[in-house]
A and B are shown apart, each in its own frame.
Chain A
Amino acid sequence: MNRKKGMAALLLSAALTGSALTACSSGKSDSNSAQGGGDSGKVQEIVFAMPSFNRIPDDLSKVRDAINAITESKIGVKVDYRVYGPADYAQKVNLALQSGEKMDVFTTLGQFSNYVSKSQVAPLDDLLAANGKEMTAILEKDFGPDMLKATTIDGKIYGIPVNKGMSLPISFVYNADLLKGAGFKADDVKTVDDLPAIFEAVKKANPDVVPFGPINVNPSDTGLLNLLKGTNKVDFLTDATGVGVVVGNDGKVVNFYDTDIFKNGVQMMRDWYEKGYLQKDAATTTITSSEMMSSGREFSFLGGYGGMEVGKTLSAQTGKNVETKRIAPFYFDTSAVNSVSWMVSSTSKAPEASVKFLNLLYTDEQLINTILYGVEGEDYVKVDDHHVKFPDGKDANTVPYTAMLSTGIVGSESLQYQFEGINWSDIELKLKENKETERSPYFGFIFDQGKVKTQISAVNNVVNQYLPGLVTGSLDPQTTIPKFVKALNDAGAESVIKSKQEQLDAWLASQNK
């Protein structure tokens, strides 16, 4: 009896300690290139997962029917339309892919090369040639002939970037009333060097107001890095860690955190911090700049925005008189373009129907706007050709369906309706800037992290440890940067740089052929 009890206890403790293991059901294997199309008379069904930043309604059936009415008649495809919030989109999609559940068309939200290196997505070249001509045409018209280079790996196209204004010049975003109160005009802001004098005046006039704040701190503020990237033409080579970048066009991969560009940038931040222009806990605060701004406690931040109308949107969001002023240009590297790309799952049973659907998604005004704004008359009403508004007495929270905040995620911006009050010329400006913004000479290079996964994971940790404190000025760069660089090298930054350099050289050689 006693022995039996002992066995049960042993099993029990084994179960307790084993509970941390990952669960995983069998993946549906080797259906890589399943039967595509065939008889076009039969309606094929695909699953399409869409991220929405709006409230997600419980009942999607009306929108789903409206979408299917368009797709079934035009391309003979029935769409199982799913909508997920931004917080669980990636998780839901990954789970579906890992468990072998049906999932055909989905987007990246920033991890393009990961999906490719694990063969989760299908190459699209042949399918695009057969079913995606209209889409490639509109991409070329709105962005330029080189857009699909950003999603090409080893000569194969794996994704379609969202077609929108991709150029996001760094803007100084500020509370216009406070600027005026401090005795300055918008024209006084030209470069980043003009800012300290303004901060000083704002601080003097309003002691309770924090002159400058980080836009977002999870894991690290991007304002300063984007400013440095744009001003100095730095290409991060599709790897957000920042070890292994090319400055300008010399083709030499270097550690960004060991360059003078970075040192001078964080030194500037340190000066601002020491003069009290930033909050003391800027490196760890969980309150975003727009929240700080709407409470009236913050004067400004740096952010990348396309077009000229963003001040209006931010004013509406924060309830303050917000204006923006561009202070640095944008620089197209690969990740700037492929960070939101639509892909077709490698396990899709209907890759052809999926590409037909993508083709329609980028070229059909009716389909895009149904996805974004819902059913006309119920969810929105048209104002004119390009503009819509909510039905009388309704707003974003009370209409049955809207995904209006996802305009930058899906389809072609040039075919999307705009909300009432947004100047249509802004869309044209964005498209013009798409073509005029300077492209990095390494535009199209995509780094394969596969061989240095271990080092990348270690480097990531080091970057998260030091970067937030440096870009907000709360750590002293004089003593911290040497420690930071040493920790990066200990974590294997050298091998990441070496691997990148080899891949970059190979890529350059293949481009010149």
Chain B
Amino acid sequence: MKRAKGTSNALRKTAPLMMLAAPGLLYFLINSYIPMFGVFIAFKDVNYAKGIFGSDWIGFDNFQFLFKTTDAWIMTRNTLLYNITFIAVGTLCSIFIAILMSELLSRWYSKLYLSGLVLPSLISMVVLSMLVYAFLNADSGFVNKSILAPLGLPEISWYAEAKYWPYLLVIVQMWKTAGYGSIVYFASIAGIDKSIYEAAKIDGAGKLRQIRTITLPLLKPTVIVLCLMSIGRIFNSDFGLFYQVPLNAGALYSTTQTIDTYVYRALMQLNDIGMSAAAGLYQSLVGFVLVLVVNAIVKRVNSDNALF
């Protein structure tokens, strides 16, 4: 009796919070959990006359196309390295921007600059790919005509040389996402108790010293949570960035092919939902395992910062 009363009391207390969380939970339920039911399609040879449930089980055959070819190594390497680079460089850029913004004395200016920095993330990848094309076009591009030519350097046919693209893609990705990524850090910095800084100032700490010993250590939990979340998607790549921005140029596949673009190119003609489900399952599974592993490592080093 007493216990029942306790739970109902707790329920009443948390009800407003639950209601706040409800739309988000519902979103995840409908958008992420219910579709997981379709996982079994990855192991079926889908035949429409027999229906999805009646189709034959074929074990891991649908997964073969992801591993059997020489491209498998290239696309896995590219996906992983790009994502690791994006996480590392992205975090650095975002924290850098956030600290700069928070040091601005005028609120008005910091808002203005921050909005300006967020703007690129609103531009669609297709539009962005045309902007990049305007820079790199072989015949009339800005880089060839207005930078390389006046310097007396030879023109480069950007869309035919794979070796430049690891740098170009990182630059494009940072231009697009660093500003947006800095918002969370900016908010975290704003949440740091100002009296800590005042105490440091009295102790004679300069600006750089304050940043190094107060701001950065206090940002650590945020950095870890955000990194863990990005690591969960380390096997997924931004399709637009790797497909649209290099204009789907064949000569660049060795440095622009990722798992997502490979699956798209391979299955555009086959239109096989079993194989695409297999690719999705593989990416999700590896991402999930990586989150668990990294979280375990974080926990061992510093259990307060772990996600769960």
B293 interface contact, C-beta 8 A: no
B96 interface contact, C-beta 8 A: no
B50 interface contact, C-beta 8 A: yes
The segment out of A150-158, A228-236, A278-286 that lies at the interface is A278-286
Given the complex, which residues of A lie within 8 Å of B8, measured CB to CB? none
Q: With the chains together, A458 CA to B69 CA distance in Å?
A: 7
Q: With the chains together, A469 CA to B160 CA distance in Å?
A: 9
A94 interface contact, C-beta 8 A: yes
B251 interface contact, C-beta 8 A: yes
A119 nearest in chain B by CB position: B49
Does B48 contact A457, Cβ atoms closer than 8 Å? Answer: no
Return B28 CB to nearest CB of chain A, in Å. Answer: 5
The segment out of A17-25, A134-142, A254-262, A357-365 that lies at the interface is A17-25
Partner of B48, one of A281, A283, A346, A467: A346
The segment out of A67-75, A401-409, A426-434, A486-494 that lies at the interface is A486-494
The segment out of A5-13, A367-375, A386-394 that lies at the interface is A5-13
Contact string, B243-282, partner A, CB cutoff 8 A, digits 1/0? 0000111110100010000100111111111011100110
Given the complex, which residues of B lie within 8 Å of A281, measured CB to CB? 137-139, 157, 159
Contact string, B40-51, partner A, CB cutoff 8 A, digits 1/0? 010000111111
Does B271 contact A21, Cβ atoms closer than 8 Å? Answer: no
B302 interface contact, C-beta 8 A: no
Does B283 contact A29, Cβ atoms closer than 8 Å? Answer: no
B36 interface contact, C-beta 8 A: yes
We find that the number of chain B residues with CB closer than 8 angstroms to chain A is 66
Partner of B276, one of A22, A118, A464, A469: A22
Does A468 contact B269, Cβ atoms closer than 8 Å? Answer: no
Partner of B68, one of A454, A468, A474, A487: A454
B102 interface contact, C-beta 8 A: no
Given contacts A22-B41, A284-B159, A492-B68, contact A16 B273 (CB under 8 A): no
Does B291 contact A465, Cβ atoms closer than 8 Å? Answer: no
B129 nearest in chain A by CB position: A286
Return A20 CB to nearest CB of chain B, in Å. Answer: 4
By CB atoms of chain B within 10 A, which of A22, A114, A346, A468 has the most?
A22
Return B265 CB to nearest CB of chain A, in Å. Answer: 5
Interface residues of A in 468-513 (CB under 8 A from B): 468-469, 474-475, 487, 490-492
We find that the number of chain A residues with CB closer than 8 angstroms to chain B is 65
Given the complex, which residues of A lie within 8 Å of B253, measured CB to CB? 461, 464-465
B308 interface contact, C-beta 8 A: yes
Does A16 contact B52, Cβ atoms closer than 8 Å? Answer: no
A100 nearest in chain B by CB position: B51
Partner of A21, one of B35, B54, B139, B272: B35
Given the complex, which residues of A lie within 8 Å of B268, measured CB to CB? 460
Given contacts A347-B48, A464-B265, contact A13 B159 (CB under 8 A): no
Given the complex, which residues of A lie within 8 Å of B52, measured CB to CB? 24, 26-27, 29
Given the complex, which residues of A lie within 8 Å of B197, measured CB to CB? none
Return A479 CB to nearest CB of chain B, in Å. Answer: 13
A14 interface contact, C-beta 8 A: yes
Does A449 contact B270, Cβ atoms closer than 8 Å? Answer: yes
Does B53 contact A29, Cβ atoms closer than 8 Å? Answer: yes
Does B38 contact A21, Cβ atoms closer than 8 Å? Answer: yes
Return B62 CB to nearest CB of chain A, in Å. Answer: 9
Partner of B270, one of A10, A15, A219, A456: A456
B91 interface contact, C-beta 8 A: no
B249 nearest in chain A by CB position: A284
B61 nearest in chain A by CB position: A454
B70 interface contact, C-beta 8 A: yes
The segment out of B76-84, B116-124, B163-171, B227-235 that lies at the interface is B227-235
Q: With the chains together, A265 CA to B231 CA distance in Å?
A: 47
Contact string, A305-340, partner B, CB cutoff 8 A, digits 1/0? 000000000000000000000000000000000000
Given the complex, which residues of B lie within 8 Å of A6, measured CB to CB? 307-308
Given contacts A118-B46, A490-B70, contact A286 B269 (CB under 8 A): no
Given contacts A26-B53, A29-B52, contact A283 B159 (CB under 8 A): yes
Given the complex, which residues of A lie within 8 Å of B284, measured CB to CB? 17-21
B287 nearest in chain A by CB position: A17
B64 interface contact, C-beta 8 A: yes
Given the complex, which residues of B lie within 8 Å of A98, measured CB to CB? 48, 273
Does A457 contact B281, Cβ atoms closer than 8 Å? Answer: no
Does A27 contact B31, Cβ atoms closer than 8 Å? Answer: no
Does A32 contact B269, Cβ atoms closer than 8 Å? Answer: no
Partner of A240, one of B38, B48, B262, B269: B269
A281 nearest in chain B by CB position: B138
Partner of A17, one of B65, B232, B257: B232
Return A335 CB to nearest CB of chain B, in Å. Answer: 12
Given contacts A346-B49, A465-B253, contact A13 B70 (CB under 8 A): no
Partner of B307, one of A9, A462, A474, A475: A9
Given the complex, which residues of B lie within 8 Å of A119, measured CB to CB? 47-50
B39 interface contact, C-beta 8 A: yes
Does B250 contact A30, Cβ atoms closer than 8 Å? Answer: no
Return B155 CB to nearest CB of chain A, in Å. Answer: 9
Partner of A490, one of B33, B69, B157, B229: B69
B41 nearest in chain A by CB position: A24
Q: With the chains together, A466 CA to B162 CA distance in Å?
A: 13
A218 interface contact, C-beta 8 A: yes
A178 interface contact, C-beta 8 A: no
Return A402 CB to nearest CB of chain B, in Å. Answer: 29
Q: With the chains together, A415 CA to B220 CA distance in Å?
A: 74
Does B288 contact A219, Cβ atoms closer than 8 Å? Answer: no
B94 interface contact, C-beta 8 A: no
Does B249 contact A13, Cβ atoms closer than 8 Å? Answer: no
Does A13 contact B229, Cβ atoms closer than 8 Å? Answer: yes
Given contacts A26-B52, A28-B51, contact A15 B71 (CB under 8 A): no
Interface residues of A in 239-261 (CB under 8 A from B): 240
Q: With the chains together, A460 CA to B31 CA distance in Å?
A: 32
Does A22 contact B137, Cβ atoms closer than 8 Å? Answer: no
Partner of B251, one of A28, A279, A347, A469: A469
B32 interface contact, C-beta 8 A: yes
Partner of A97, one of B48, B232, B248, B288: B48
Q: With the chains together, A165 CA to B47 CA distance in Å?
A: 34
Does A280 contact B31, Cβ atoms closer than 8 Å? Answer: no
A82 interface contact, C-beta 8 A: no
Does A219 contact B51, Cβ atoms closer than 8 Å? Answer: no
A19 nearest in chain B by CB position: B32
Does B228 contact A24, Cβ atoms closer than 8 Å? Answer: no
Q: With the chains together, A508 CA to B25 CA distance in Å?
A: 60
Given contacts A15-B33, A19-B32, A26-B52, contact A468 B250 (CB under 8 A): yes
Pairs of residues from A and B, 3 with the lowest C-beta to C-beta distance, nearest first:
A29-B51, A457-B266, A119-B49
Q: Can you spell out 27 A-B residue pairs with CB atoms less than 8 angstroms apart?
A: A13-B232, A17-B284, A17-B288, A17-B291, A18-B33, A21-B281, A22-B41, A23-B35, A24-B38, A111-B271, A118-B46, A219-B248, A283-B160, A284-B247, A346-B49, A453-B275, A457-B270, A460-B268, A461-B69, A461-B71, A461-B266, A464-B248, A464-B250, A464-B265, A466-B250, A475-B160, A491-B71
Binding site for A on B (CB under 8 A): 28, 31-36, 38-39, 41, 46-54, 64-65, 68-71, 133, 137-139, 157, 159-160, 228-229, 232-233, 236, 247-251, 253, 257, 262, 265-273, 275-277, 280-281, 283-284, 287-288, 291, 307-308
